[in-house]
Structure 1
């Protein structure tokens, strides 16, 4: 497993990822950072957790809208929504620990 450092809202975060996925994680973090900075510009400083939550909701809304017009295709061996939810819960717990340590 590789570790890559990404920057979100001016702060560095170490993120674990599969070997060879470092550039993808950095690209996704850049997309997330764009949303976080947009929210920060609109609502001001409300704390990282709230900024991250709002940006995450914006991205979830965009994903939901994108999926509205697409048929559901099940791929054998692909992660289920339960796996995605579990991963998101793990990330949320890690973010809370990071923020509590600041």
Structure 2
């Protein structure tokens, strides 16, 4: 088990991951940081900041779904599940983060 420190919205978050997954976690963290900057919510609480980033990412996934009867890349149910999981993770991160 490895730990990676991600800088998202000017805050550092320590994340545990499997050995060998560090680079992938860093790339995903950079994507989230980009969305936080895009949404201009880096001055919000960690949970709000991550919620806005997750909404932008979920919107991208939904927009990438084929139109006109094709098999969607992600169903509304899947997106809801992802959003709920991200909210839960953001809440845990906010509780664990020192007040800044």
Q: 1:64 to 1:91 in 2, by over 3 A?
A: same
Q: 1:89 to 1:29 in 2, by over 3 A?
A: same
SS of residue in 1 equivalent to 2:32? helix
Q: TM-score, normalised by structure 2?
A: 0.70
Report the RMSD for the aligned CA atoms in angstroms.
2.9
What is aligned with 2:38?
38
Unaligned runs of 5+ in 1: 74-80
Unaligned runs of 5+ in 2: none
Q: Distance in 1 between matches of 2:28 and 2:19?
A: 16
Q: Please report how far the alpha carbon of residue 85 of structure 1 lies from its aligned counterpart in structure 2 after TM superposition.
A: 6.8
Q: Deviations over 1:51-102 (max 9, x none)?
A: 2211110001101111x216369xxxxxxx5x85785355233223134x31
Q: Distance in 1 between matches of 2:52 and 2:82?
A: 19
Moved over 6 A (4+): none
Q: Distance in 2 between matches of 1:97 and 1:39?
A: 22
User: Is the helix fraction higher in 1 or 2?
Assistant: 1
SS of residue in 2 equivalent to 1:19? coil
Q: Please report how far the alpha carbon of residue 16 of structure 1 lies from its aligned counterpart in structure 2 after TM superposition.
A: 1.0
Q: Distance in 2 between matches of 1:44 and 1:31?
A: 14
